[in-house]
Amino acid sequence: MGENKRRMLAGEWYLPDDPDLQRDTERRVRLCAAYNAAAAAAPGERYKLLAELLGSVDESVRVRAPFHCDFGYNISIGAGTFVNFGAVFLDTGRITVGADVQIGPNVQLLTPSHELDAARRRAGWERASPVTIGDNVWLGGGVIVCPGVTIGANTVVGAGSVVTRDLPGGVLAVGNPARVVRELS
């Protein structure tokens, strides 16, 4: 394993032009293309592709194409979860999605951050912070979840919201940035 890949997986600053990461990217391109092209294939065939792409996925999970990710192997999706069209999971860091989660169309789960210093950003430095989605969460269409965010179980995030910090369990949150508007019973 190259030093940059080790650093990426550890959540440290790294340069993404590592040969190991390039091979991983080629793997992801091949598997995402095959998965997205197999929209009409039998569910068992689609699951085999998804299981090869992702780090962990239950057979009951449904992901509608197109689906896009950085590597795939940093993504874990729990049983009974549904991911709608156009999902983007940038998994340079760990993405954990719980069981029975509903993810609307065009949702983005983003783990990478780029350097604020202009010279280091130009050089390509980045790092990742994990994203965790609890059980029975509903992310409305177009929700963006930023690096390092955890959303607690049974929370609903309204369409178009941008989640920049952790949300507790059992709440409704909306807006940009997402704010808790009420508790859910």
15's tokens = 């340069």
Let me know if 64 is exposed, middle or buried by CB neighbors in 10 A (0-12, 13-18, 19+).
middle
104's tokens = 């609307």
- Rounded to 5 degrees, what are φ and ψ at 131? -120, 130
Query: Is 114 an annotated catalytic residue?
Result: yes
Q: How far is CA 36 from the centre of its chain?
A: 17
How do 131-133 and 150-151 pair as beta strands?
parallel
Length of the chain: 185
From the DSSP assignment, how many helices (H) and strands (E) are in the chain?
Answer: 4, 19
Residue (of 140, 148, 146) closest to 173 by Cα position: 140
N-term to C-term CA, the chain:
47
Which candidate in 114, 124, 177, 184 is catalytic? 114
**Amino acid symbol at 89:** F
Catalytic site positions: 114
